[in-house]
Amino acid sequence: MSASSTNYQNSSFDVIVIGSGIGGLVTATQLAAKGARVLILESYLIPGGSAGYFERQGYRFDVGASMIFGLGNRGTTNLLTRALEAVNSSVDAIADPVQIHYHLPKSLDLKVERSYDNFLQNLAAYFPHEREGIRRFYDECWKVFNCLNQMDLLSLEEPRYLLRTFVQHPLACLSLLKYLPQNAGDIARRYIKDPQLLKFIDMECYCWSVVPAEMTPMINAGMVFSDRHYGGVNYPKGGVGQIAQKLVEGLEKAGGEIKYQAKVTKIMTEKGSAIGVELTNGEIYRGKRIVSNATRWDTFEKLLPVDKIPPNEKKWQQNYQKSPSFLSLHMGVKESVLPQGTECHHIILEDWQNMTKPEGTLFVSIPTLLDPELAPEEYHIVHAFTPDWINDWQGLSASEYEAKKEETAWRIIDRLEKIFPGLDAGLDYLEVGTPRTHRRFLGREDGTYGPIPRRKLRGLLSMPFNSTAIKGLYCVGDSTFPGQGLNAVAFSGFACAHRIAVDLGL
């Protein structure tokens, strides 16, 4: 059914989802597969949010990172594969033999291979005196992963699910309860003493959680550090945007609907319950349940009256703050720029003191090494991005903004030249995205990557689930348990859909 030809306003939906990021799409597809009448309202032209894509001059660029977990084919933690299967869909995935090639201070040049033993050997070669501690720390991460990988990952808010899971997997549940309040850094320090190695563990966490190990929940670390050796990192053929496109196809086949260029400006409430939404053009859609895939800041400060923020949301904001956004360079380069044996994903840091600073850590993805069809023949895509705050980009005139973009881009290209000599000369296309770009196109407050703890918290205990203090309103995505990352927001989508399905009696 064509979204544009449907008369939505005269109909009421079981569930309305605001935004088509992966969390929103998984929620919608799970519910549509169960027979719910679902509508997604997406402000942009295509689905996916930061898992979307854009095309320029024969290049297909991923908006965000291209290091994808959750597309494996075994276990229960391959949530993207399972979400697609729920609506009879799939993507062709290309296995990446190396998760990351680290280029770190003091010549710490290390590849995280898919083989677990190879990775441990490579790391122990740099820190032979910590060989036993390295194995004990990463083995403990496996304990967390093996517990998660035994059970269906659904809503922890649903008592019958919790009871059923506990009866089926009592030891795994008790283990996870032990790890729930713990952070990865505390466990790393039990086994490891070398300060340089502890810095490396910080980077292992920071590169996806945007905080050091002492502030990264052990549950999340266990998932990431083990799944890269289990289901592995897999790249969807045709680009990351294929995941969202296929979920939308599956949604529509299951009877759900999506409407593009439909910007929600208000969540409507009646007697304290969410009952519908209003768009910028004044259109109103009613639903029994409303799901916000916007950030919690956007949800509770923009879509709802700011003077009525529930007390538990204010408390959450005392615990969590917005992470930085990113400065992104989307480049097309000549094939000759990349040395033989170059890996797809790189992390570059010259000084440990700069790890968490703006422009400190530099992330690089070269997805055409896995899928050459994303670029013209004899060219590659290089996507380089680094954390940056929106404050540094505010209050500039148009010419000042362009000048700052160019100056910053060449500063980053100079750093990349050390690893990819000749990058400047081989540059065919360059587009620069700033935190303002992320805010504009992704509709995220300050272009933020998501929430990070304001101080050290007890693991994942402070992260909210999907239900909110407003009856009928749910949140999904990286502002909810378990946090950032494509597989994590897919988890939140499964949990949200499960909670709503129970509430609707599906």
pLDDT tens string 352-398: 999 999 999 999 999 999 999 999 999 999 999 999 999 999 999 99
What pLDDT is stored for residue 162 in this prediction?
A: 65
Q: Residue 98: which residues within 8 A CB-CB, separation 6 or more?
A: 111, 112, 113, 114, 343, 344, 345
Question: Is pLDDT above 60 for 256?
Answer: yes
Question: Is pLDDT above 90 for 76?
Answer: no
Residues 359 and 402: their CA atoms lie apart, in Å, by: 18
Q: How would residue 155 be classed by pLDDT, with cut points 50, 70 and 90? A: low
> Position of tokens 């979204």?
3
**Residues 85-91: what's their mean pLDDT?**
93
Q: How would residue 455 be classed by pLDDT, with cut points 50, 70 and 90? A: confident
Residues 224-249 as b or e (16 or more Cβ within 10 Å = b): bbbbbbbbbbbbbebbbbbbbbbbbe
pLDDT in tens, 29-44: 999 999 999 999 999 9
**Residues 220-244: what's their mean pLDDT?**
94
Residues 242 and 71: their CA atoms lie apart, in Å, by: 12
Q: How would residue 3 be classed by pLDDT, with cut points 50, 70 and 90? A: very low
Could you tell me which residue, 155 or 303, shows the higher pLDDT?
A: 303
What pLDDT is stored for residue 124 in this prediction?
A: 97
Residues 340 and 303: their CA atoms lie apart, in Å, by: 50
Question: Is pLDDT above 60 for 93?
Answer: yes
pLDDT in tens, 423-437: 999 999 999 999 999
- E strand or H helix at 442: helix 435-442
Question: Is pLDDT above 50 for 7?
Answer: no
Q: How would residue 4 be classed by pLDDT, with cut points 50, 70 and 90? A: very low
Q: What percent of the chain has pLDDT over 90?
A: 73
Q: What percent of the chain has pLDDT over 70?
A: 97
**Residues 62-75: what's their mean pLDDT?**
88
Query: What are residue 383's phi and psi, to 5 degrees?
Result: -110, 110
β-pair type (473-475, 284-292): parallel
> Position of tokens 């649903």?
158
- Report the chain's mean pLDDT, rounded to a whole number: 91
**Residues 237-245: what's their mean pLDDT?**
95
> With 0-12 CB in 10 A as exposed, 13-18 as middle and 19+ as buried, what is 164?
middle
